[in-house]
């Protein structure tokens, strides 16, 4: 057993007072969870301390909270590890070494650590039509699909709807209407499903919504927060890729912006922010301003942002300071990364290891059973 101090952000609406902090001392094995610590404090010190929980095994998704500023599950975070992180933060001048526990972010707080998941999470999940939309007569029994065709969506299917990604999403902080990481990961679950017949309509809808797939800023926070390896940002990137492959033009030029970004880095090694709007809005006319009506409108709309960023020194004006390519060797390395990515098309899916078609390696590592394994096992018995 070890002694720990937890500092909990509390809010008791019936008191009429605002939120406040309260410290509790608990004694637990370091391998027990932060949720265990909260339940001990509730049991021994204050029965009104409110926390939502059920399975205590990272399955039900009930106990989302922020621990030392990081969104995650209370039942999956060991108290010993939380203490180590609190001390590490204290060593760089952040906090006093006490484990800090708060309700999830980007959601209204109902009481203590209990947040309103309805308004910010479930409403958005419903927004993406989270069920199959097949066409034609339903089969007499179930829809039969090749198991391989479901591999792509295994990662998004692992979501337990805990809301930790929503809690940590930086775009959602700036735009509360952003559909958000959990709902967009759920959208990919159906876009990638071979039984769904409205893939294009779904992608069109999510690309045209100004709070849709192009509202994500690639901050990676949701990937860090997710306790189940769903990597919501990766699912959003898959949605974007599919929308691009379908030729869907979003009103914000989000797809062209991405292509321009990739092209500039490939060519120059670093981002030329002056070239970026030009390449994003005058697509297909490589470097030459031959704008369509829409492109003119987009560029004019972007002017205040361009001037603001130049004024604040975030962007170097081409005329003041021309953008330089990386020195030769470094630029070749960037190109080699591109070639490797193009050749291998690697997908980071924690539920699948290796490259497409690399079954032999998976079998050698014991990740896949050898072909006909059941038959040979039977023969051995």
Residues that bind ligand SF4 (CB under 6 A): 159-165, 168-171, 181-182, 185, 216-222, 225-226, 228, 230, 232-233, 236
Q: Tell me which of ligand SF4, ligand FES, none is bound by residue 58, counting a contact when its beta carbon lies within the kind-specific cut-off of 5 to 8 angstroms.
A: ligand FES
CA distance 333 to 335: 5
Binding of residue 42 to ligand FES (CB under 6 A)? no
Size of the site for ligand FES (CB under 6 A): 12
| Residue of 54, 94, 292, 305 that binds ligand FES (CB under 6 A) | 54
Q: Collect all residues with Cβ–Cβ distance below 8 Å to 287 and sequence separation of at least 6.
A: 275, 278, 279
Helix/strand number for the chain, H first, E second: 17, 7
Binding of residue 79 to ligand FES (CB under 6 A)? no
Q: Tell me which of ligand FES, ligand SF4, none is bound by residue 204, counting a contact when its beta carbon lies within the kind-specific cut-off of 5 to 8 angstroms.
A: none
Stretch that binds ligand FES, among 60-68, 78-86, 88-96, 127-135 (CB under 6 A): 60-68
What are the C-alpha distances in Å from 276 to residues 265, 268, 286? Answer: 10, 12, 12
**Helix 181-191, helix 232-245: angle, nearest 10:** 50
Q: Would strands 99-102 and 114-115 be described as parallel, antiparallel, or unpaired?
A: unpaired
Rg (CA), the chain: 25
Instruction: Decide: residue 370, CB within 10 A, 0-12 exposed, 13-18 middle, 19+ buried.
Output: exposed
Q: Tell me which of ligand FES, ligand SF4, none is bound by residue 59, counting a contact when its beta carbon lies within the kind-specific cut-off of 5 to 8 angstroms.
A: ligand FES
| Residue of 22, 60, 69, 352 that binds ligand FES (CB under 6 A) | 60
Q: Tell me which of ligand SF4, ligand FES, none is bound by residue 228, counting a contact when its beta carbon lies within the kind-specific cut-off of 5 to 8 angstroms.
A: ligand SF4
Q: Is there a contact between 33 and 22 (Cβ–Cβ < 8 Å)? A: no
Binding of residue 167 to ligand FES (CB under 6 A)? no
Shortest CB 269 distance to ligand SF4, Å: 24
Shortest CB 123 distance to ligand FES, Å: 21
Q: Tell me which of ligand SF4, ligand FES, none is bound by residue 155, counting a contact when its beta carbon lies within the kind-specific cut-off of 5 to 8 angstroms.
A: none
CA distance 277 to 269: 17
Shortest CB 81 distance to ligand FES, Å: 16
Binding of residue 62 to ligand FES (CB under 6 A)? yes
In the complex with ligand SF4, the residue whose CB is nearer, 33 or 221, is: 221
Tokens found for residue 211: 């709070």
| Residue of 26, 34, 75, 276 that binds ligand FES (CB under 6 A) | 75
CA distance 66 to 103: 6
């Amino acid at each position: 057993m070890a002694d720990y101090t937890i500092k909990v952000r509390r809010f008791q609406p019936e008191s009429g007072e605002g939120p406040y902090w309260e410290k509790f001392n608990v004694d637990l094995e370091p391998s027990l969870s932060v949720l265990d610590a909260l339940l001990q404090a509730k049991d021994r010190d204050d029965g009104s301390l409110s926390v939502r929980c059920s399975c205590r095994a990272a399955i039900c998704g009930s106990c989302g909270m922020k621990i030392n500023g990081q969104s995650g599950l209370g039942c999956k975070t060991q108290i010993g590890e939380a203490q180590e992180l609190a001390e590490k933060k204290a060593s760089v001048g952040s906090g006093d070494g006490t484990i800090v526990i708060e309700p999830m972010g980007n959601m209204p707080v109902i009481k203590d650590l209990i947040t309103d998941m309805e308004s910010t999470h479930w409403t958005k999940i419903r927004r993406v039509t989270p069920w199959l939309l097949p066409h034609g007569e339903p089969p007499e029994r179930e829809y039969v699909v090749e198991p391989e065709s479901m591999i792509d969506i295994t990662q998004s299917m692992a979501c337990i709807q805990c809301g930790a990604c929503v809690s940590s999403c930086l775009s959602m902080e700036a735009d509360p209407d952003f559909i958000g990481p959990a709902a967009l990961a759920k959208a990919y679950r159906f876009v990638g499903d071979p039984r769904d017949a409205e893939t294009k309509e779904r992608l069109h809808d999510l690309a045209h919504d100004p709070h849709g797939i192009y509202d994500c800023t690639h901050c990676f926070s949701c990937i860090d927060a997710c306790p189940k390896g769903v990597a919501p940002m990766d699912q959003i990137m898959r949605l974007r890729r599919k929308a691009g492959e379908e030729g869907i033009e979003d009103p914000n030029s989000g797809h062209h912006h991405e292509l321009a970004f990739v092209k500039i880095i490939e060519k120059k090694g670093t981002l030329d922010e002056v070239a970026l709007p030009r390449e994003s809005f005058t697509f297909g006319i490589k470097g030459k301003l031959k704008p369509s009506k829409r492109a003119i409108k987009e560029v004019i709309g972007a002017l205040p942002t361009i001037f603001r960023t130049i004024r604040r020194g975030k962007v170097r004006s081409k005329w003041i300071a021309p953008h330089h390519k990386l020195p030769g060797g470094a630029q070749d390395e960037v190109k080699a990364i591109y070639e490797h990515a193009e050749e291998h098309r690697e997908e980071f899916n924690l539920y699948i290891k290796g490259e497409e078609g690399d079954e032999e390696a998976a079998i050698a590592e014991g990740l896949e059973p050898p072909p006909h394994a059941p038959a040979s096992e039977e023969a051995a018995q």
